[in-house]
Amino acid sequence: MAVTGEKLVATAGMDAQPPPLLRRDEDARAAVADLVRRLGAERVLTHPAALFPYTYDASFNSEAHPGRPDCVVLPRDTQDVVTVMQVANRYHVPVVPRGSASAYSGGAVAHYGGIVVALNVLDRIIEIDADNLQVLCQPGVIHANLNDALAKYGMIFPPDPGSSKIASVGGMTANNSSGMRAVKYGPTLHYVLGIEVVLPTGEVVWTGGEGSKALQSVSGLNLTPLFIMSEGTLGVITQLRLRIIPKPESRGLVVARFDSLEDAAEMTRRIFRGGILPAALEIMDRSAIRAVNIFKPDLKLVECAAMLLVEADGSSAVVADTVGRIEQVARELATSVETATNPKEMESLWAGRAALGAASSLVVPGGTRVGMGEDICVPLKDMPATLRKIAEAAEKRQVAVVLYGHIGSGNVHSAIVVHHTPEEIERAKLLTEDIHALALEYRGTTSGEHGIGVVRRDYADAELGAAVTIMRQMQRSLDPNGIMNPGKKLPFADPAVVGT
Ligand SMILES: Cc1cc2nc3c(=O)[nH]c(=O)nc-3n(C[C@H](O)[C@H](O)[C@H](O)COP(=O)(O)OP(=O)(O)OC[C@H]3O[C@@H](n4cnc5c(N)ncnc54)[C@H](O)[C@@H]3O)c2cc1C
């Protein structure tokens, strides 16, 4: 399908109107008063200053269009979330689940007002059952804290977003987060054995079998994945049973530099076709290397067209063998190659990649990185062309962009950097449209891991076709009043239809 920038517009997703049944001001006021009565004023934030931190997430959209909730509920337990649903249904006001609000999608922002449920306060690891390879925890547990706790048992929870120190496991599950290790270990989806979820109607269900400790099951229809990646549009996750695995004994890293993006992609192809499954396979292009050199000149990254970082993990013997094989492939194509197997050397080689989030903004003096068009995913073979075309589009739109990504999964991160002037933001929006159009042209997706929220929802029809109708029907069967995180994930259907 040929999709042009002209046909795909409205990246911000804020032009559509909410369905008419939601949120009249008097309903919202009555709902807040009811919540205060049932839960106590200390559990229901209403002061504008207290609400302010809940008006945005990491996306630029929420910065440009902050969404003000009518109140924020700090639940003590699942029952408090049930109470929220009962009240929201009674007054027809939106409910927006929120973890750490680190997503680049606007998903956790109450753009249509209503009740934000702050799940980060439910942050207990209930049980680590290392012998049965699982943990039971609440949704607000921070990813890095979970892995710190698991380290004592020699275990890890493998998904690893760059936001590890802030992202909650509930948010990761709702967004199906991935990260660098996904090339080998897959996304969060692969590690959720079951969840307790409060449905929009207020019922509480366990998917994956209540009380079950089974690591695999074919019982019933598989509801768990339906809620994973639903971005808070189908219910609130209040407990999770997560799969954990033994921590690999050892790690090793190969860094390879190239004269062309094509050579870097060819190395990626040869790694996989050579029967190697790395634990991370990352690319930084010239723009990313330059950004790091501005931010951390001491690192003295060698300027080149592309740099690959390829990690192997496993037993020491496996790592030694795998690193040797990766190095051999690298030497066939790269202009220079470095390897490391001791943790300190590896850390210093990874330092440039780790600094990229902060470094990107510095490519434009006084500029800021904005979360727009930053997460497309394309077939592996189209990575070089995609990176090149994004760079060309950025030049045409006169916008700075820093390019890097999880090349082992085809996931491109295009960090757009602008001054906050209306002209520059407008150009950044046009570039975002170009990038998303490119993703669809290459038969990829507009978001590989960061989520859809409001910022990418208007591509749903172009990307998913008739399946969107089925998704809406499923939503409506679980959420007859349309209260659950409205306007996220999918564009509003015809309001006349939603309202019936
Ligand atoms: C510096 C940085 C690096 C990042 N790197 C990565 C990366 O490498 N890989 C990656 O995948 N992402 C990455 N992200 C994006 C983001 O951190 C992830 O999507 C993360 O998992 C979101 O978790 P959160 O707790 O912040 O969720 P939030 O932003 O609070 O919410 C995300 C969505 O989940 C819903 N939600 C949250 N909690 C619940 C719940 N308990 N029940 C139901 N719905 C819920 C919200 O309504 C919202 O739609 C990065 C972000 C930043 C800022």
pLDDT number for residue 8: 35
Q: Report the topology of domain 123-246.
A: 3.30.465
For residue 177, give the ligand 1 atom closest to its CA. 11
For domain 250-441, the CATH class is alpha beta
Contact residues of ligand 1, CB 6 A cut-off = 57-58, 96-104, 107-108, 119, 139, 161-163, 167-168, 170-172, 174-175, 177-179, 231-232, 236-237, 357, 449-451, 453, 485, 488
Protein residue with least CA distance to atom 1, ligand 1: 163
- The residue ranges of every structural domain in the chain are 25-120+475-498, 123-246, 250-441
Alpha carbon 144 to its chain's center: 16
Residues 6+ apart with CB under 8 A from 56: 62, 63, 66, 67, 101, 109
The CA 396 to ligand 1 mean position distance, Å, reads: 32
Beta-strand pair 71-73/115-118: parallel
The CA 167 to ligand 1 mean position distance, Å, reads: 6
pLDDT number for residue 20: 52
Edge-to-edge strands of the sheet including 71-73?
A: 44-45, 71-73, 115-118, 95-98
Per-residue pLDDT of the chain (500 residues; tens, 9 = 90+): 333 333 333 344 454 455 555 667 889 999 999 999 999 999 999 999 999 999 999 988 787 788 999 999 999 999 999 999 999 999 999 999 999 999 999 999 999 899 999 999 999 999 999 999 999 999 999 999 999 999 999 999 999 999 999 999 999 999 999 999 999 999 999 999 999 999 999 999 999 999 999 999 999 999 999 999 999 999 999 999 999 999 999 999 999 999 999 999 999 999 999 999 999 999 999 999 999 999 999 999 999 999 999 999 999 999 999 999 999 999 999 999 999 999 999 999 999 999 998 899 999 999 999 989 999 999 999 999 999 999 999 999 999 999 999 999 999 999 999 998 999 999 999 999 999 999 999 999 999 999 999 999 999 999 999 999 999 999 999 999 999 999 999 988 765 444 32
| Rounded Cα gap, residues 14 and 367, in angstroms | 24
The CA 373 to ligand 1 mean position distance, Å, reads: 16
| Rounded Cα gap, residues 135 and 152, in angstroms | 13
Q: Is it true that domain 25-120+475-498 has CATH number 3.40.50.2000?
A: no
| Rounded Cα gap, residues 478 and 480, in angstroms | 6
